[in-house]
Amino acid sequence: MFKYLLKKEFKLISRDLHALMVLFIMPVLFILIMSLALKNSYSNSVDVPLRVAINSQKHNKSIKAMIETINKSNFYKASYLQVKDDKKVLYSDNYDFIITVQSNYIERIKLNEKNFKVTIYSKPDTSIQKIEFLKKLISGASTKLILEDLLIQQKIKIDKVLDFEAKIENQYIYKKENFKVKPTSVQQSVPAWLVFSMFFILIPISNTFINEKAFGTIDRIRSINVSLFPILISKIIPYYIINKIQVIFMILVGIYIVPLLGGDRLEIMGNIGLIFIISSAVSLASISFALVIANIAKTTEEATTIGGVSNIILAALGGIMVPKFVMPKFMQDITEYSPMSWGLESFLEIFVRGGQFTDISSYVYKLLIFAIICLLIAYILLKKRS
């Protein structure tokens, strides 16, 4: 009998092609869009540097030094410009910053003048991080010039001291030896939207399940002495297979499609077995959650609304839509309660950090407990209805 229950489920799935398309097309679009949009956030360069106008009375050595220091950064492109109208330069000439500074600012720093200041003008939507980084570059330019004068007086070779910053390098420490994967936007996007798409299995499950309840299919199956538990299990297996196909498909998109559009290539150096384990845990959690929604809702429209809203909330809180590392501390604490966050963190441990099973075990157990609880709730609701 269980074989016929599975056959029925696969037939129902094959008739709901629109829902299946959502499960694959929607996350692919999100992966492509977010991987390309966030590319510069993970790299040391930008396609369009922020334009900086250095506004001063004279274009002397000190101003040239400031421009050179700013231009060493890959994120800014500075040039000398005598500004008469700040608004015109920012909004019509499309500059991102105007730095107004006296041409003799080095001398005024040395004299420790209290009224001396450098003013940065920017648009209201400019992020604080970009402004603070620009401040550091301006400060670095003045420090370099003052230090240069001192070194000349002490007859110390300037180049060896001033090139010290170039000798500072960052090295990533991975949890696994011989694991050398450079963090990129695609390694954040693929796991994030993969987890999101797996939870959207709710749409085809709720469609088929509610239709079965409406047409009395489940009651007729129960009338031939079939218990509720096999009925629920027969719904898990087909959608579990679909989730596995999603995992393979999304990974292939990250490896082959994203690079074709100018993005970074997804590199898989983590343990394939661990990817199977965590994707299975996420799949069981998402299917069980979908069965709860399908039992609560009375119509497919209601199920789609409740499930869609709940999935979006879980995604927003789980670091799917906004990476966890850019969230404030209290929001990062909240993500610990989202099942999507457990899945995402597990994938990131494998994809990015070279983690082992011990690093993801707590997330796997949480997902399995969540799946068991949801499955029990779905069973109780269905039994109560029967």
Local confidence pLDDT in tens for the 386 residues of the chain: 555 555 666 666 666 667 677 778 888 888 888 878 777 666 555 667 889 999 988 888 888 888 988 888 888 999 998 888 888 889 888 899 999 988 887 777 777 777 778 889 998 888 888 888 898 888 888 877 777 767 666 665 655 555 566 666 777 677 666 666 777 778 888 888 889 889 988 888 887 777 776 666 665 555 556 566 666 777 788 888 889 988 999 999 988 998 888 888 888 877 788 999 999 999 999 999 988 988 888 887 888 888 888 888 888 888 888 778 778 888 888 888 899 999 999 988 888 777 788 889 999 999 999 999 998 998 888 777 65
The number of angstroms, rounded, from the C-alpha of 94 to the middle of its chain's C-alpha atoms is: 29
- CA angle 139-143-149, nearest 5°? 155
**Which of 109, 139, 167 lies at the terminal end of a domain, its last residue?**
167
* Cβ density class 85-109: b for 16+ within 10 Å, e for less: eeeebbeeeebbbbbebbebbbeeb
Whichever domain contains 76, its CATH number is: 3.40.190.10
User: Do 160 and 166 touch, CB atoms closer than 8 A?
Assistant: no
DSSP code of 73?
S
Task: Assess whether 130 and 31 both reside in one domain.
Answer: no
Asked whether 287 and 274 are in contact (CB, 8 A), the reply is no
The model's pTM is 0.73
| Pair 209, 300 in one domain | yes
Query: Looking at the structure, do residues 16 and 84 belong to the same domain, yes or no?
Result: no
Number of domains in the chain: 2
143 and 110 share a domain? yes
Mark whether 199 and 241 lie in a shared domain. Answer: yes
Q: Give Cα separations from 103 to 139, 147, 152, 341 (angstroms).
A: 15, 18, 22, 52
CA 27 centroid distance within chain: 13
Cα separation, 354 vs 347, whole angstroms: 10
Asked if residue 344 and residue 301 are part of one domain, the reply reads yes
Counting Cα atoms < 13 Å in the Cβ hemisphere of 333 gives: 3
Query: What is the pLDDT at residue 371?
Result: 94
Q: Do 193 and 90 sit in the same domain of this protein?
A: no
- 59 plus 114 within the same structural domain: yes
What pLDDT is recorded for position 278?
93
Kindly report the backbone phi and psi dihedral angles of residue 171, in degrees, each rounded to the nearest multiple of 5, phi listed first: -125, 130
Q: What pLDDT sits at residue 3?
A: 59
pLDDT for the residue 154: 63
Q: Which domain holds residue 353?
A: 2-40+184-385
